[in-house]
Structure formats: C-alpha cells, structure tokens
C-alpha cells in the first residue's frame, strides 16, 4: 500500500507580469490547467486540496471538470509563503531576495510549512492518492523535506506553472521523490514560470 502525493503548481495568472499577488488565470494559464487536468484524468484521487488563492482555485476547477468524482477543497496550509529567511548556511547571493519580506511573514511561512508537512506527510496504512494544487515555494519545501536537505535548499528548487511533482511512501520506507517538475503534458510554448537566470 503506497501513499502518493501529487504536487502541482497553479497555472500562470493574468496579473503576474504586473507584480500583483493574485489574479485569475491568463489564457496561457487556462491552457496549462486544462493540460494538467487531462494528464491526471486517468487517476482516482482520495482527496484534492488547493491553495485558497484565486490562481490555484481556478486551476483546481479545471481538474474537477475532468474528474467529476472529486471535490477540490481549499486548504490554508497550501497558501503561498516563504518558509525561511537567511540561515547560516544560505549563500549570500540569496540575501537580496529576502529584502521584500518582513520577519513576521517569514516566521508565519515557517510555521505554516511545519504544520503542512506534519499534516500531509503522514504515514498511511492504505493506498492513498492525494492531489495538492499550490505554489512554487510550497512544493519546493515539500521536496526539500522528502530529500532531508538543509532548510535553505528550498530556494534552489523551482517548478513551472502546472508542472507535476510526485512523492510517495511505501510502508516501512521513507518518503521518496518519484518525479519532479514533469512537463511532458505541456507543449513548449506553455512551459512558463521557471526563472531564466535568477535561481529564485
């Protein structure tokens, strides 16, 4: 019996280029969401959770259209967040990134991700398939946690819009990263969201 968690970053949203925090999916984001929904349509999910932010909620609606048996639910632990600030191990090149976040925001992000991993990375005694539609940094934190990497390494992991990451745990074994940022369902023109040069 294996516990599978499918992690999907939301589709591109309309206001991303204007620096706004949230907004509906862009036309390209809608196509991305439809593509990941088609990719997942052959699976049977026990639960589908999504960030309450609009871009993730709308992505979840596309999945629900193709999997009518599922009822996606918002989950506060999947909000976009910054899980850590600078640590002693964090390379100095990352320091400018944290200038736009307050200590309170970073502290809240760390608490959120501690609760999220405690809630979702729970050993199950049955076959379970869960889908989490969330944000880049949240997925990075889950992957870092599964790999037991130093905390700051979440900053070196990135997911494209509607990229698919799968983690799993078999009884008596640690969590395993099965696939990371799989984009096989997206044509080249829909592969957005990855940095060109900046590792953030």
Question: Residue 160's domain is classified under what CATH number?
Answer: 3.40.50.1240
* Structure tokens, 98: 């944290």
pTM of the model: 0.94
Residue closest to 89 by CA, chosen among 159, 157, 155, 158:
155
Angle at which helix 54-66 crosses helix 27-40, to 10 degrees, equals: 40
d(CA 147, CA 157): 12
Residues 53-67: what's their mean pLDDT? 96
Exposure string of 101-115, with b = 16+ CB inside 10 Å and e = fewer, is: eeeeebeebbebbee
Radius of gyration (C-alpha) of the chain in whole angstroms? 16
* 131-169 tens-digit pLDDT: 999 999 999 999 999 999 999 999 999 999 999 999 999
pLDDT at 124: 84
Whether 175 has a pLDDT exceeding 50, the answer reads yes
| 177 located within any domain | no
Q: What is the mean pLDDT of residues 40-51?
A: 95
80: its two tokens: 């976009």
18 pLDDT band, cuts 50/70/90, is: low
pLDDT at residue 27 in the model: 95
Q: What's the average model confidence in pLDDT over 108-134?
A: 95
pLDDT at position 23:
81
For the residues 100-113, what does the mean pLDDT come to?
96
pLDDT greater than 60 at residue 68: yes
Question: What is the enclosing helix (H) or strand (E) of 31?
Answer: helix 27-40
- DSSP-assigned states of every residue in 101-161: S-HHHHHHHHHHHHHHHHHHS---SS-EEEEEEE-HHHHHHHHHHHHT--GGGGGG----T
Number of domains in the chain: 1
Residue 57 within any structural domain of the chain: yes
Distance (Å, rounded) from C-alpha 183 to C-alpha 53? 23
pLDDT at residue 17 is higher than 90: no
| Least confident stretch, 16-25, 53-62, 90-99 | 16-25
In DSSP terms, 4 is beta-bridged to 129, 168
Flag whether pLDDT at 115 surpasses 60. yes
Whether 197 is in a domain gets the answer no
Q: What's the rounded Cα separation, in Å, for the pair 112 and 33?
A: 26
Please check whether residue 199 lies inside any domain of the structure: no
> Cα separation of 135 and 144, whole Å?
14
Parent domain of 167: 3-172+182-190
Contacts with 162 (C-beta within 8 Å, 6 or more apart), sequence order: 8, 9, 10, 11, 29, 32, 33, 35, 36, 59, 185, 186, 190
Q: How far apart are the first and last CA of the chain?
A: 36
Q: Does 199 score more than 60 pLDDT?
A: no
């Amino acid at each position: 019996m294996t516990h599978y968690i499918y992690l999907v970053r939301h589709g591109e949203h309309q206001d991303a280029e204007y620096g706004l925090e949230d907004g509906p999916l862009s036309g390209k984001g809608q196509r991305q969401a439809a593509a990941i929904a088609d990719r997942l349509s052959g699976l049977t999910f026990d639960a589908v959770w999504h960030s309450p932010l609009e871009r993730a909620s709308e992505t979840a609606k596309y999945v629900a259209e193709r999997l009518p048996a599922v009822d996606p639910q918002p989950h506060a632990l999947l909000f976009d967040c910054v899980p850590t600030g600078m640590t002693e191990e964090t390379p100095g090149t990352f320091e400018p990134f944290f200038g736009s976040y307050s200590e309170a925001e970073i502290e809240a992000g760390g608490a959120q991700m501690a609760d999220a991993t405690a809630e979702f990375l729970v050993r199950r005694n049955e076959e379970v398939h869960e889908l989490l539609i969330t944000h880049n940094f949240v997925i990075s934190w889950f992957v870092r946690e599964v790999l037991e990497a130093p905390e700051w390494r979440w900053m070196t992991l990135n997911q494209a819009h509607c990229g698919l990451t799968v983690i799993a745990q078999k009884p008596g074994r640690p969590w395993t990263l099965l696939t990371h940022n799989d984009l096989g369902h997206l044509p080249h023109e829909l592969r957005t969201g990855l940095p060109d040069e900046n590792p953030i």
